[in-house]
Amino acid sequence: MSAPATPSPADDDGWRPRDLSPEQLGFTPRSRVPWLAPRLLANTAVRAGLAVNFGAYLDKRELQGALPAEVHDHDTDGDLWLDYVADLGDGFNATYSVAWLVAQRELAVKDPEGAEHALPRAQVLVMGGDQVYPTADWRQYEDRCKGPYRAALPEQDSHPPTLYALPGNHDWYDGLTAFLRLFGKGEPFGGWQTAQSRSYFALKLPRRWWLYAIDAQFDAYLDEPQLGYFHEAAKQLQPDDRVILCAARPTWTHTEDAPHEYDTVDYFIRKIVRPKGAVVSVLLAGDTHHYARYQQAGQPTLAAGGEPASSEDNHRERQLITCGGGGAYLAATHRLPESLVVPPKKSLVHHASPRRRYELAARYPDAARSRRYSWSVFLKLPWRNPGFNTLLAGVHTLLLAAYISAGGGVPWFTVPALVMSAVVLVAAVGFAATDRVGGFRRRHLALGGLHGVAHLGLGVAGASLWAWLGLESLPTVVRLVLALAIYAPVIGIVASLLVCLYLQVAHRFGVNVNELYAGQGIEDAKCFLRLRIGRDGALTIYPIAVDEVSRKWRAAPEGPWGAPWVAPEHPIKARLAEPPVRVATRS
């Protein structure tokens, strides 16, 4: 059943909203996703579990083999500008701040060295995954993705910029149904024009550059229709052509904990690109919500068996770039490895590509700012996740009831006490196990167990205080009122702060790093890329950083044709996270 059309004056040509009401805009601006809300946690867990365990049955990529297989031509005699934005469909403030910058006719930015750069609006926009949060359905896409981007660039001219989208794991939760309806029909997307018919695509760019975007369902494999599509597209490749390869996840940053995740990317390079003599010069992904760039280190690389690689491989520069700052909560950068070996030494592939060592060349935000954000969890998590506090309050109130169930003192071995203790321990270990990188390991069990024991200790302290105050002697109704009206709210906040302390400790061991930042819902420190292929054939990458998103907006009913419907109360300041990165056509 297709999504119902949203009746709105915004569908009329020339219409400009008079205010920010959903009736005027045609969509509902959403607040940031409360990632630790109990209902959302349960709903997302169920959908993710179904997608992972039954993804093969929901996989529509095999069916896409019947759809048109086109290599999209964006070759031009002049410069080509291309934007890359990923992880964008979250709260309106962050998503629209980035969309507003993407839609501007020109951005004037400075790099860290003080040089000024004038960057015109891109002719091509690539969305790199997770266009919507928390789960994929037509309403969420309208409110969190299409609506904000249409408000930023509402009208099409005679030569509209083209939009392509690659699905991420959140786009996959409904088997790509909503994704393909939105991006695969060749319909306008505000002032952009969609062109793809499948969830993957190949773009022919000027001066022997190409962009390939591959769709690996949950890092599992590449389906046969997709491999066939890229085999056919690669027939146009010539020796020394350059390829920008887009994937849904930066698997190269997980080579220590999950070395197998890079295998799909390496397989694609070895089977599709390398046989034609072409070179993958840039690996590009979102999924992790920050900017990070790795570049090849100076020392010789190693072949898969450990012997030195050929001089030809050693002189083919490659950039590994993560840029997932399009709107979702900020992720840590101070936990990034300083160097990588790709493909990883632990790879099970017998004929992997020659290994190369990469060094971390740039990150945004910087490590110091990232650490400061990690400490702000004590201020932000309890107040931005009231539902999570309520859940903890309920658990600890039940724990109190279980510990004092026998009356007088603290009975340790009653059935209710043992059952509730087991529930708390299992829940704490399960929370540690939500860290999906590398699977469940002993450190997850140890840290999760200690976290559970800490909550049990807090429960014991609460029960001991209850007994010390002699509250057991009060009438049942009075005790119930005290437990629900006073004890539950207080213990909920205290337990939430205990979770904050656990996250601060656990992330130092690489556990629950994502939850430490997701619980805070940090909207600032966003980023996207603007790429230029110049007349000299070089690719220049401009990593655009947004230190602070706008939080105050106004309708712009008198704006000129094509101007954004919604304007920030104060200008959104953008800069470059590092000086422009130049990738020459010959190394």
**Residues of the chain predicted below pLDDT 50:** 1-12, 56-57, 299-315, 409-410, 587
The C-alpha atoms of residue 500 and residue 494 are separated, in whole angstroms, by 10
- Please tell me the distance from the alpha carbon of residue 455 to that of residue 471, in angstroms, as a whole number: 22
Q: How far apart are CA 482 and CA 517, in angstroms?
A: 34
Closest CA to 25 of 181, 152, 187: 152
* Per-residue H/E/C for 185-250: CCCEECCEEECCCCCCEEEEECCCEEEEECCCHHHCCCCHHHHHHHHHHHHHCCCCCEEEEEECCC
Please give the Cα distance from 247 to 215 (Å, whole number): 7
Q: Is 476 exposed, middle or buried (0-12, 13-18, 19+ CB in 10 A)?
A: exposed
Dihedral angle over CA of 60, 61, 67, 70, nearest 10: 150
pLDDT of residue 466: 82
Phi, psi of 419 (to 5 degrees): -65, -50
Burial of residue 505, with CB atoms counted within 10 A of its CB: 0-12 exposed, 13-18 middle, 19 or more buried: middle
Each domain of the chain, given as residue ranges in start order, spans 17-373+520-583, 377-518
Residues 56, 57, 59: CA angle, nearest 5 degrees = 60
Domain 17-373+520-583 has CATH 1.10.260.40: no
What is the chain's alpha carbon radius of gyration, rounded to the nearest angstrom?
A: 26
Half-sphere exposure of 478 (CA within 13 A, CB side): 6
Q: What was the pLDDT predicted at 170? A: 83
DSSP H helical ranges for 276-407 = 311-314, 367-375, 377-384, 386-403
Task: Identify the pLDDT of residue 49.
Answer: 57
86/107 Cα distance (integer angstroms): 19
Cα–Cα distance between 343 and 265 in angstroms, integer? 9
pLDDT given at position 297: 75
CA 79 – CA 98 distance, rounded (Å): 23
CA–CA separation, 53 and 61 (whole Å): 16
Comparing C-alpha atoms, which of 101, 141, 127, 249 is closest to residue 196? 127
Structure tokens that stand for 208 in this block: 């022997």
CA dist 278 and 316 (Å) reads 11
- pLDDT number for residue 298: 57
One-character DSSP codes across 453-474 = HHHHHHHHHHHHHHHHTTGGGS
